[in-house]
Amino acid sequence: MAVNLHIPDKKDIHPVKGVEIGISSAGIRTEGHRDITVFRLAPNSAVAGVFTTNRFRAAPVQVCEQHLHKEQDIRALVINTGNANAGTGEPGLADARQTCTELAKLMDLRPSQVLPFSTGVILEPLPMPKLLGALPKAVHDLQDDQWYEAAHSIMTTDTQPKIYSTQLDLDGHECNITGISKGAGMIRPNMATMLGFLCTDIGINPKLLAEMTRDIANHSFNRISVDGDTSTNDSFILVATGQSERYIDSVASPYYAQVYKALKEAALDLAQKIVRDGEGASKFITIQVEQAKDATEALKIAHAIAHSPLVKTAFYASDPNLGRILCAIGYAGIDDLEVNKIKLWLGDVLVATDGGRHPDYIEADGKRVMQSSEITVRVALDRGKHSETVYTCDMSHDYVSINADYRS
Amino acid sequence: MAVNLHIPDKKDIHPVKGVEIGISSAGIRTEGHRDITVFRLAPNSAVAGVFTTNRFRAAPVQVCEQHLHKEQDIRALVINTGNANAGTGEPGLADARQTCTELAKLMDLRPSQVLPFSTGVILEPLPMPKLLGALPKAVHDLQDDQWYEAAHSIMTTDTQPKIYSTQLDLDGHECNITGISKGAGMIRPNMATMLGFLCTDIGINPKLLAEMTRDIANHSFNRISVDGDTSTNDSFILVATGQSERYIDSVASPYYAQVYKALKEAALDLAQKIVRDGEGASKFITIQVEQAKDATEALKIAHAIAHSPLVKTAFYASDPNLGRILCAIGYAGIDDLEVNKIKLWLGDVLVATDGGRHPDYIEADGKRVMQSSEITVRVALDRGKHSETVYTCDMSHDYVSINADYRS
């Protein structure tokens, strides 16, 4: 079902020096499902994260933020699927903390050196005995070649694992970048029911890494939308273990630009894979808004298009019902927008100018573009020089089926 | 398919003195379909309107605003379905003006005494010869008992006509209030692909009527949501013909409160009928947000819940997946919201307190409420004294089918 989602061969997934992964089954939601994933990180890894803006931040998100704030040496991540530990109040916080404490005991760490992550159903208590019972096996099985299995074990409504891996040659030293992500619904800018873990063995100054993480998230995971719902649990973590022989101390480092670009590409790939596997998706849609006054208005318009159920169902039907796109532009909330100056392209086809249909536009051209599984919508506003791009998918019957049946 | 949508008996629809309606078939979209509706209003009727906030305001909306601004004596309305005359640029404006001019000739009026309305597909030119050719028959057939037929002739994806009628006894004089509306998708606060026409034979001071119209729209048509899309064509028109023996000059009038209440009830009924006939709707959902600091934050939260596809698909599935409601509250954009103070009820069942599930809540109770076709979600914020209510429906497979197939 996923749209052109590339899953690399196992042989092309490069272990990251200083990262080991162990997986086990707690049966939180389904008996026998491998739903617990533990990362062990080498000492003195730099770790940074960005988290959901939802006011109902899940308990693990709150604990992550606390631990990242007080701890210089994060050494482990623990992820469960099947239950989000969100909307669980004080008992949920205690459960997230206990998870860290128990894992820390097994790994000879302080609890604050562990970051917890949960994804799944909201408003139900974590089944702690099951979860804690599964931790020893995950720790016992820690290995450096479990990325592919981890991409599977963090899935919820995902139909495909999401994994990206590359190598960089930094002056003769081969360094590794590998990451995984999950999420298919409840996806909207400012994160999603989305987890992303991206690791490199390049060393990066922790303060610089924190800045890079915010910036990279803003241009990847915060540029995607499936259904406009911002989840309680969204987390993106960037780890730099420093176990290779290359270190980046500042933006002036000779490797900075190359590494930044590679990490951003990795995050964008992992984010786009979430859209490609969007619940019920049959098409991958890129929305480019150009000639805006600033990023805010470009993003308002891009998101209005990306969130419109009417636009998304028209894409599903391969119906060039492009008035729905103009309509979404019109209600995006730009009060002084002059609609007669807007140009709208569907793929390479100029559709609208002067507040209406372009004279040369014919339906057959629109139809041709709409039948592709990869579609670009381009809007030029004639107001300035700013451009922004967001990524979304169509809305199909399967979106409804998946979300109507999720808990059953 | 519509949810508990009451269609009154024809005998219970009261003509409004000073309002005649004629209907004819232009075959704009479907040959033989009765798609043209003309209203003739008695001289010196007071007429007020509110229109879409979409920047791509359709041509007829722009012409309506111009005519209402310059003309004291509006005498006719003309409505076509099958084509929205939106996203049609200058030629579309010329078409809307020509429609007024031709109807004015047939009715011996000035063009500015005519208000035009269009609803249907966006971005396609109006087929003017067909439209103009159908006007004479509509004018010829003007009668005072055509409300029921008019409710049918303004339908697009509506499955049911929407009509409301009542009588008021104002000190021994029976006065009439009758209205119709249309719309089923592209429905969101600040109007919708929504047309509403509400008429009374009570006389009302035109300035007062304009204020009442804004206020009434704000508490009816601007409180409904089907899919979160604000259309290019939304229009709500309130007509007071003054042909009965009662006149309201100011809010100090002895009849003001009674008439205001009756008109507001009429508009709310016509607005709710749009939700009841929401595309694919199987449930009617009332969302009440209480104890807010002000209307803005109450509405932000109510609309976040009403617009969430995840919440709406859960209602469709009768699945008390209530974490999705908490999640929507959390991303509504209230930065200082203290989630631990929020209470959430589903019908009469207290679901969430203290940031999590209420200790007494059991799934069976939630399930029982979810199975009803009329569901109330109540959220108490513990921040102030303001309450707001919005109305929405669930999201089903049929929503996707209807919108994927609309033009075929």
Residue A301 near residue A292, CB atoms below 8 Å: yes
Report the alpha-carbon distance of residue B275 to residue B185 in Å, rounded: 9
Which of B232, B317, B354 minimises the CB distance to A404? B317
Which of B54, B352, B404 minimises the CB distance to A331? B54
Do A89 and B124 make contact, defined as CB atoms within 8 angstroms? no
**Is residue A156 scored above 80 in pLDDT?**
yes
Mean pLDDT over each residue of chain B, to the nearest integer = 90
**Is residue A107 scored above 90 in pLDDT?**
yes
Mean pLDDT, residues A26-31: 90
* pTM attached to this predicted model: 0.81
Domain A10-276 matches domain A284-405 at the CATH topology level: no
Task: Give the least confident one: A80-89, A160-169, A372-381.
Answer: A80-89
pLDDT of residue B147: 97
Burial B374-400 (b: 16+ CB within 10 A, else e): ebbbbbbbebeebbbbbbbbbbbbbbb
**Is residue A192 scored above 50 in pLDDT?**
no
Report the alpha-carbon distance of residue A192 to residue A279 in Å, rounded: 13
pLDDT of residue B191: 35
Mean pLDDT, residues A277-301: 92
pLDDT in tens, B192-225: 368 999 999 999 999 999 999 999 998 888 888 7
pLDDT in tens, B295-337: 999 999 999 999 888 888 889 888 887 888 988 898 888 989 9
Is residue B179 left, alpha or beta, with left meaning phi > 0 and alpha meaning psi from -120 to 50?
beta
**Is residue B189 scored above 50 in pLDDT?**
no
Contacts of A337 in chain B (CB under 8 A): 55
**Number of CB pairs < 8 Å for A and B?**
237
pLDDT of residue B3: 87
Active site residues of A: 193
Highest mean pLDDT: which range of B110-114, B275-279, B348-352: B110-114
Q: Is B30 exposed, middle or buried (0-12, 13-18, 19+ CB in 10 A)?
A: exposed
Task: Give the least confident one: B238-247, B368-377, B392-401.
Answer: B392-401
Mean pLDDT over each residue of chain A, to the nearest integer = 90
Residue A16's pLDDT band (cuts 50, 70, 90): very high
Mean pLDDT, residues A164-170: 96
Work out the percent of chain A whose per-residue pLDDT is above 90: 69
Do B122 and A232 make contact, defined as CB atoms within 8 angstroms? no
pLDDT of residue B227: 58
pLDDT of residue A408: 41
Contacts of B88 in chain A (CB under 8 A): 355-357
B282: Cα within 13 Å, side-chain hemisphere: 15
Contacts of A322 in chain B (CB under 8 A): 87, 122-123
**Is residue A246 scored above 60 in pLDDT?**
yes
* Residue B189 CB contacts under 8 Å (≥ 6 apart), including other chains: B222, B223, B224, B225, B230, B299, B303, B390
Do B229 and A308 make contact, defined as CB atoms within 8 angstroms? yes
Q: Where along chain A do its domains lie?
A: 10-276, 284-405
Burial A149-188 (b: 16+ CB within 10 A, else e): bbbbbbbbbbbbbbbbbbebebeeeebbbbbbbbbbbbbb
Do B310 and A357 make contact, defined as CB atoms within 8 angstroms? no
Do A232 and B87 make contact, defined as CB atoms within 8 angstroms? no
pLDDT of residue B1: 64
pLDDT in tens, A61-103: 999 999 999 999 999 999 999 999 988 889 999 999 999 999 9
pLDDT in tens, B246-264: 999 999 999 999 999 999 9
pLDDT of residue B356: 86
Report the alpha-carbon distance of residue A159 to residue A314 in Å, rounded: 23
Contacts of A346 in chain B (CB under 8 A): none
Residue A226's pLDDT band (cuts 50, 70, 90): low
Contact B93/A at CB under 8 A: no
Paired tokens of A379: 């809007």
pLDDT of residue A320: 81
User: Which residue in chain B is spatially nearest to A87 when comparing CA positions?
Assistant: B356
Contact B326/A at CB under 8 A: yes
pLDDT in tens, A334-375: 989 998 999 999 999 999 998 888 999 998 999 999 999 999
| A303: three-class secondary structure by DSSP | helix
Interface test with A, best of B310, B322, B358 (most A CBs within 10 A): B310
Write the class of the CATH domain A284-405.
alpha beta
Residue A193's pLDDT band (cuts 50, 70, 90): low
Paired tokens of B297: 């934050």
pLDDT of residue A1: 64
Q: In this predicted model, which residue has the larger pLDDT, A339 or B396?
A: A339
Contact A185/B at CB under 8 A: yes
Contact A290/B at CB under 8 A: no
ipTM over 0.85? The verdict is: no
Report the alpha-carbon distance of residue B299 to residue B269 in Å, rounded: 20
Do B229 and A122 make contact, defined as CB atoms within 8 angstroms? no
How would CATH label the architecture of B10-276? 4-Layer Sandwich (3.60)
Do A326 and B87 make contact, defined as CB atoms within 8 angstroms? yes
Task: Give the least confident one: B42-46, B164-168, B261-265, B392-396.
Answer: B392-396
| A97: three-class secondary structure by DSSP | helix
Do A356 and B87 make contact, defined as CB atoms within 8 angstroms? yes
**Is residue B279 scored above 80 in pLDDT?**
no
**Is residue A402 scored above 80 in pLDDT?**
no
Active site residues of B: 193
Do A354 and B404 make contact, defined as CB atoms within 8 angstroms? no
Contacts of B324 in chain A (CB under 8 A): 122, 229
Which of B123, B331, B400 minimises the CB distance to A397? B400
Shortest Cα distance, chain A CAs vs residue B380, angstroms:
15
Closest CA to B186 of B237, B217, B226, B138: B226
**Is residue A229 scored above 70 in pLDDT?**
no
Shortest Cα distance, chain A CAs vs residue B64, angstroms:
18
Contact B43/A at CB under 8 A: no
pLDDT of residue B66: 97
Task: Please report, for residues A231, B263, B308, the alpha-carbon distance to residue A307 in angstroms, rounded to integers and kept in the order given.
Answer: 15, 34, 10
Do A55 and B331 make contact, defined as CB atoms within 8 angstroms? yes
pLDDT in tens, A33-67: 899 999 999 999 999 999 988 888 899 999 999 99
**Is residue A189 scored above 50 in pLDDT?**
no
B2: Cα within 13 Å, side-chain hemisphere: 20
